[in-house]
Each structure stands twice: as C-alpha cells, then as structure tokens.
A and B are shown apart, each in its own frame.
Chain A
Amino acid sequence: MANSLRLYLTCIRNTLEAAMCLQNFPCQEVERHNKPEVELKTSPELLLKPILICRNEAEKCLIETSINSLRISLKVKQADELENILTKKFLRFLSMRAEAFQVLRRKPVQGYDLSFLITNYHCEEMQKHKLIDFIVQFMEASFHPLHLVLWSVVNYFKYYAFLWTY
C-alpha cells in the first residue's frame, strides 16, 4: 500500500515538474489585465491538455496547465460516511485559511476535494522545486491525519461499546 502511494506521488511530482513552466502573460481578451488563464479558459490555444492521475477509483489528481497558471485538484479516498464527514471538515478548515497557504484555492474544483492554483507570480517569488516539494509533502501529510483521526474515532466507539455491553 505504501508502495503504490510512492508511485502515485512520484508520478505527480514528475508531471508537475513538466507542467510548472509558467511565464507572465497578459490577458488577450481584456486590455491591461493579467489573469490566470487556467481559470478564465477564454483562449483555448493557451491551455494545455489536462492530465488525470488515478491511484484507484476513489483517489485521483487532475493537473490542468496553461501558459501562466497551473491548477491541481485532488480527490482523497473516502471509504464510508464517517471518513466523508471528517475529510470535508478537515479540508474545509484548510480552504478557509487559503490566504495563508497562498497557492491554495478557496473552493475546490467541481468533483474534487481540494484544489491548488499556482501562477507565474508564485514561481517568481518562490522556487519551483520547493513548490513541488510542498505540494507532494502536503499530499503525503494529508493522508495521514485523516486516518489517524478516523482510527481514534473508531477506537473511541469500540471502547465505549465495550463498556456499555459489559
């Protein structure tokens, strides 16, 4: 299981290294504007083909690139209702504080749990390989607490169920 996670993250890292070739590009549609093209989607020639990397049916990562911006959307595994609620709460907590993260998108893309938006300005201020490290480590770390929380919740119920029946 850990092996497939490694492969999944390596695949995402390699794709990001190729996709994160961003440059400053002023808007073609509106004068004096400079907007992330991957969000506007007004000029199809400025967008590259989106890449979907699936670990299994439940976990996937969509990487959409354009000439000046990159959007990474993640869907994490949610086996049952409890995990669903926990994931929602945890990721909503993060998204509300998107300004602190700078590269996080406030609302995830439709069909996904979490989205990042990286623009050329982020690449100018921060180092590209450090940004990629951050995203991959974030993905690794976000798998962990959810499971820990889930296990602790399940164990809590088991313990009290045991206390009540005996």
Chain B
Amino acid sequence: MAAVAVHQFAPCITCHAWSPDRSMVAFCPNNSEVHIYKLSEDKWEQAHILQKHDQIVSGIDWSSRANRIVTVSHDRNSYVWNYEGSEWVPTLVILRLNRAALCVQWSPQENKFAVGSGAKTVCICYYEQENNWWVSKLIRKRHNSSVTSVAWHPNNILLATTSTDGKCRVFSTFIKGVDTRDSKAGSSSDSKFGEQILQLDLSFSWAFGVNWSPSGNTLAYVGHSSTIYFVDDVGPSPLAQNVAFRDLPLRDVLFISEKVVIGVGFDCNPMVFAADESGMWYELCQIPWGEEDVINWSQVWFAVF
C-alpha cells in the first residue's frame, strides 16, 4: 500500500477539508488564510484565498449538501462561507467564546455545527431563519480543560468530545425548533440540550481525535499515551477496549467502514486498526508514507474509495 498521490501545498498545513465531489481541497497553510485548490487535469491550481481571520485557522469543514465552508480560528471567531457567483462570501458567527476555537464539524444533516474551544466549552451553532444569522448555544461547566476534538453521531443529536483532561464525553445537543423528536430514537431524543450522556475516563493522558463508526454503534478516540480506545454500544453499559502500540501517539482517527479505522499521528505512517468477528480490535498494519516527516499531526485525509 503506498500513497496514491503526494502534493506539497505548503511547508505546514494546520487543517483541511475536501469538497463534496473531492475535486477541491481547502486548507490553512499555518497562517490566518484559507487556500482552496482545485484539481484540473492532474494538477492542483489555486482557486481562492479566504482572508477574514486574524489568527491561525484551526478548523475547517466543508458541508457536502449545501456547499458551505465553516472555519474557526484562534481569534475566537467563526465564519460560514457561502459560494455566491464566483466568490466565497463570509458570514460571521457570534460564538460567544472568550478563548481560541480549536475544532469544528458540521452535523450529518448540516443544520448545525459544533465548535470545541480552549474556553473549556463546546458551541453548537444553528441557523435562525427569522433573523438570518447563525446563533450559538454553549455547553459549559462540563469540561475541565480545552476541547480538542468533536464528532457528531449519525442521528444528528449526540455529540462526542475529547479534551486535554483525558476524558471523552458524549452530549445531547437537542435544540427545539431545529431537531425533531423521533419516536423511534429512544433515549437520545428524551435528553435536554447540553445533557451529558456518557463520560469515558479511559485515558491517562490527553485525548484527541474522536470519531463515530458509520452506524453510530462504535466510538473511537486516541490518547497521548500511544493508545487508541474503542467503545461499543455507547449508552448505559458501554464496552471499552484499549489497543496500545509501540509507536509515537496518534492525533486523529477515521472510520473507513464499520470494522476498519485509520489513525494518523506523530509517527509519519498512518496506522490501520481492524476488528475481527468477535469484535476485538487490533492493529492491522502501517501504511508506509516515505521519508518525509510532513505529517506532524494532520487530520485524517478522507480517502476517495
């Protein structure tokens, strides 16, 4: 297994997001701008530069249906960019944060997005049609340290967060008027906004990179002690497994399928983990990336399968 293609866009990339058709990629080259590159005939060309933030852009997400980009930065601001005509037009989102924003993700139905911040809070933003702007609701008083990563459950209501206090928490983000109470969903739709469903205390060190499996049954996150944690049947009685490995810690994970997970981190090779028939997770292999130590702690690239 080797890299499909290697392109050097910038000496250092902070965060990135793919467009819905995977023909464009938006990333931050370690400054306050967002560059969008388009793939045309096997060459990457710079299409747009989005300049609105004052400090480094720490999170980008590109929604697949509505073609919107959300960016968050260390300057406590967030912008939602809409493609109008041939330009990207920003809309400021009042996050009400008093520290840097660290990560962002659109919800599966793209009517909300979650922002993790250094203010030990998570902002859930949704669009208010009457006032034509994005409103934020905060989940406070639950995290003891910065929120490093957020991940939405496929049901659009549950949100998993990881923090530098070593814990992974699952919250309900039900917002009246935005989410509908599904009678089939059961316990997840009975909770109020900001209610903590679950707190996982598996890691001794900082927790990063959380991701749900496509069905929402399994949760995976990494700890800085070179371990990756898998939690099955997230709910009142979860089943947790740790897989420890010899290499340097991972920084982010992605579920490729229900049983296969790829992790990237401080070692320059992505690692593949798989679950066997009995549900036990193990390390499958490493994908050799070459001699370049370009991947410091990049987010996982969505492979086009």
Contacts and interface: CB of A to CB of B under 8 A. Distances in A.
Interface residues of B, number: 34
Interface string A125-137: 1011100000000
B296 interface: yes
Contacts of B58: 24, 26
Interface residues of A, number: 23
A31 interface: yes
Contacts of B144: 45
Interface in B250-268: 251, 265-266
Interface in B88-143: 98-100, 102, 118-120
B200 interface: no
Contacts of B265: 21
Contact of A127 (B30, B55, B293): B293
A28 B55 CA distance: 16
A14 B230 CA distance: 29
A26 B118 contact: yes
Contacts of A144: none
Interface string A112-135: 000000000001110111000000
B266 to A, nearest CB: 4
Contacts of B120: 28
B74 A124 contact: no
A152 interface: no
A48 B223 CA distance: 13
Contacts of A45: 144-145, 164-166, 206
Majority secondary structure of chain B interface residues (helix, strand, loop or mixed): loop
Contacts of A17: 248
Nearest to A28: B118
A67 interface: yes
A127 B205 CA distance: 25
B75 A21 contact: no
Interface in A140-161: none
| Most B-side CB within 10 Å, residue of A26, A27, A34 | A26
B224 interface: yes
Contacts of A23: 251, 296-297
B49 interface: no
A43 B145 contact: yes
B76 A32 contact: yes
A67 B293 contact: no
B241 interface: no
Contact of B146 (A25, A31, A32, A48): A25
B56 interface: yes
Contacts of B164: 45-46, 67
A32 B98 CA distance: 9
A67 B146 CA distance: 12
A18 interface: yes
Q: Identify the interface centre among A25, A48, A124: most chain B CB within 10 Å of its CB.
A: A25
Contact of B76 (A31, A43, A124, A125): A31
B12 A124 contact: yes
A27 to B, nearest CB: 7
Interface of A: 17-18, 21, 23-28, 31-32, 34, 43, 45-46, 48, 67, 123-125, 127-129
17 contacts: A21-B248, A21-B297, A23-B297, A24-B56, A26-B100, A26-B102, A27-B99, A28-B99, A28-B119, A28-B120, A31-B98, A31-B99, A46-B206, A67-B164, A123-B296, A124-B296, A128-B293
Sorted from nearest, which 6 A-B pairs have the closest CB atoms?
A26-B100, A21-B266, A26-B74, A124-B12, A45-B145, A28-B118
